[in-house]
Each structure stands twice: as C-alpha cells, then as structure tokens.
Amino acid sequence: MSYGSTIKVPFGPQHPALKEPEHFLFKIDGDIIVNVKPRIGYNHRGIEKAFERRTYIQNIYLAERICGICSDAHTTCYVQAIEDLLGVEAPPRARYIRVIVAELERIHSHSLWLGIAAHEIGFDTLFMHLWRDREAVMDILELISGNRVHYAMNTIGGVRRDIVSETIPKVIGSLDFLEKRTKYYMKVLRSEPTVLKRTVDIGVLKPEDAVELCAVGPTLRASGVKNDVRRDDPYAAYDEIPFNIVTDDGCDVFSRILVRCGEILESINMIRYALDHMPSGMLRVRVPMVVKPGEAVSRVEAPRGELIHYVKSNGSTRPERYKVRSPTLANIPALCKMLIGQHVADIPIILAGIDPCFACMDRLVFVDVKTNKKKALDFESFRKIVRKRHELL
C-alpha cells in the first residue's frame, strides 16, 4: 500500500489540541464512499508507560496532558480511580467544584467544536464569532484555576483551589452572556441555509447502529439514545444536581450540532445550580503517598463521551499498569459507518462531527473501485472538490 504525501491542515498556529494525525483509507466509486479503513496510532505518545514511571501525585499532571481540551475530564477520571483504590472520598464542596469545572470545560469544548464544524463547512464568519465568544468561558476558567487550558484543579482526595465568593459574580455574568449567545447561535444554525445544506441528512447514524457500534457521548445522543455517564453512573456531585440529557432524533451532523448546543445550555444551568447550592467545608482530605494493591476502573462523561481509566496498583508509590480509553476511540467504528454512502466532499464535516479531538484529514488516500487506482489528495485539491460540489468557487 503506498500512501500519498502528508496533508497539512492550516488551522491556527499554536493551539493546544489541534492537528492530531489519523489515517483513513477511502474506497470510492465516483464520488461516493463505499468503504473506509481507519488506521489509528499516529499520535502514540507512550503515555500509559509514562504513568508507570511517575508517582501518583505526579501522574495527576500527566493525566491532564493526555488532552488539552478535556484536561479536567482526564484528571477527574484519574483521581477517582486512585480515590477508589485508597478508599477515600472527596469532601462535598470539592465534588461541587469538580462539577463546576467539568461543566465549564464542556461549554468550552462544545463551543470549540461548533467553531470547527462551522469552519469545516466553509462558514468562517460563524467560526470566528463562536471562538470570540468562547473566550468568555476560557477567562472564567483561568480566573478560577489559574490557567486557561490545564486547570490542575483536581488532586487525589479533593480539589486544590476553592471558588471564592469574589469570582462568583463574574462567573454568573459570563454565564448569562454565554446563554444569550448560545441561544442566538442556535437561531442562526437553524435558519442559515449554508448550515442546513451541509449538515442535514449527512453522516446518518441510525440508533441501532449507534448502540451496536458502541458510540458514545453527543454522537450517540444525536442518534436519539439517552445515555450519559453523569446520570447512569453518577460521580462527583452529579447525583445532587438536576439536569436533562439532551438528545435528538435526526441522527445526522445537524443533530450533533443541536445536541451540543443543547448541552451548553444545560451546562450553564447546572453551573448556576451548583454555585447556588455549593456546601461549605473542606476542599480535600489528606491521602498517603503509597497506594495499597488493587485494581480500579473509573468512568467520566467527558465532553466527547464516556472516558474510562483503569489502574492497577502493586502497593508502591507508582501504578503498575495504567490504561486510558478515550471517547474518540469508541466513536471510530461508528464514524466509519457514517461515512459509507456519503460524498467525498462531506468527509471533513462527518469526521469533525464526532469531535475527534480534531483528528482528520492528515493523510487521505482514495481508491477508485472501478479502476482500482489509488490517488492521494493534498489539502488544496481536496478543498477544491469540496468547493466545487457546493458551488462555492
């Protein structure tokens, strides 16, 4: 199999989570995709091995760096697994703070995704407006945690920082702004012909396929399946905070947009509730450095779906084995299903539709089934096909 040249996606010079390479081999008949073969692993960083060489405290910061966008989801999942092994529980206030940071992160991740989706369908005005407004949530995350991206809020046995009363009015103000903007964007998305033409009935994933292929997160919920770790296996303070699981029956990319918009609004309400009902008290319990032998599994609903961490301890200060199953991996089989029967020009938005931590068009090879010829396309010629099909040129 010969692969073509690497395709570079010119997307923002320094951003924390963009440009993850991933390979897809498409078999096409004319303009229609008949088969997809994913090949993953281009981004292997040896993180699981690195876990075994660091102490439990040091690993919090390593877990945080698995992903720049869901950094809080990974640390929450990690500290929960270790707390499980140690048999300790975070104090109530810490559990509320974990929910607040997790939901802020969901807002920022979903707005980031909406921007990317807008960009993929060639709607850059919307992309820029969305990303400008996303700064509001980044600013409150920085205000609360001291960093825009790596919040470092979680620690084994609780959280490291409090949400002090002076910051709460600022947080509420930003939430009001974000709510107004999200409602406005929902109106835009529902009425803009550019969006509707490019996303309605594109990348359809039927509910039975979604369940069978083990899709997770908004991808699954956009196929009408009510499934959410926050409700099914509540962690942190999710059992005390009322919220709705947003689903949509469209099963296409447009539904995925609507589900994520709906989740932003839900998250805003959850944060408001959590800020109002946050109990006072301790932030953390002291834990020993040495963890007794055992195994633990922890699950978290990351912005992209269910995240699973597994840890095995041998009674020392370092884990013996660590395993991470991120939501993007779970969505790859479903993604391949969605792509079959679609036009080549719709590949970017369908790939982006699962929010793959931005793993897409790095290397694309097309095989024409009639001639069995392979051709690799660079980004510009790919763009041209996309534009031509949608008559934008």
Partner 1 sequence: MAIIVEAIKHLFKRPATLRYPFEKEAPPKGFRGRPIWDMHRCVGCGLCSRMCPSGAIEMIGRGHEARIKHYVDRCLFCGQCSESCPRNAIRLMNDFEHASYSRDSMIYEYKRES
Relative orientation angle of helices 167-191 and 253-277, to the nearest 10 degrees: 160
Q: How far is CA 65 from CA 14, 30, 149, 170, in A?
A: 16, 42, 10, 28
Among 48, 84, 142, 240, binds partner 1 (CB under 8 A): 142
> Which residues from 7-66 bind partner 1, rule CB under 8 A?
54-55, 57-62, 65
Asked if residue 143 binds partner 1 (CB under 8 A), the reply is yes
Asked if residue 318 binds partner 1 (CB under 8 A), the reply is no
> How is residue 102 written in tokens?
């997790």
Nearer to partner 1, 191 or 280 (CB): 191
Residue type present at position 25: L
To the nearest whole angstrom, how small is the minimum distance from the Cβ of residue 126 to partner 1? 6
DSSP calls for 337-380 = HHHTT-BGGGHHHHHHHT--SSEEEEEEEEEETTTTEEEE--HH
Among 135, 240, 320, 378, binds partner 1 (CB under 8 A): 135
Query: Whole-angstrom Cα distance, residue 373 to residue 4?
Result: 13
Asked if residue 292 binds partner 1 (CB under 8 A), the reply is no
Quick one: DSSP state of residue 246?
P
Asked if residue 184 binds partner 1 (CB under 8 A), the reply is yes
Which x/- pattern, by CB under 8 A, does the window 148-167 give for partner 1? --x-x-------xx------
* Residue among 44, 77, 36 at smallest CA distance from 60: 77
Among 101, 126, 241, 258, binds partner 1 (CB under 8 A): 126
Contact stretch for partner 1 (CB under 8 A) within 147-155, 212-220, 298-306, 354-362: 147-155
Among 8, 30, 52, 146, binds partner 1 (CB under 8 A): 146
Contact stretch for partner 1 (CB under 8 A) within 26-34, 129-137, 249-257, 325-333: 129-137
Among 191, 280, 371, 372, binds partner 1 (CB under 8 A): 191
DSSP calls for 64-111 = HTT-SSSHHHHHHHHHHHHHHHHT----HHHHHHHHHHHHHHHHHHHH
Q: Starting at the edge strand that comes first in sequence, how are the strands of the sheet with 20-29 ordered?
A: 32-39, 20-29, 359-368, 373-376
Among 19, 23, 129, 325, binds partner 1 (CB under 8 A): 129
User: Residues, the chain, total?
Assistant: 393
Q: Are 346 and 204 a contacting pair, CB within 8 Å?
A: no
Binding residues vs partner 1 (CB under 8 A): 54-55, 57-62, 65, 125-126, 129, 132, 135, 139, 142-143, 145-147, 150, 152, 160-161, 184, 187-188, 191-192
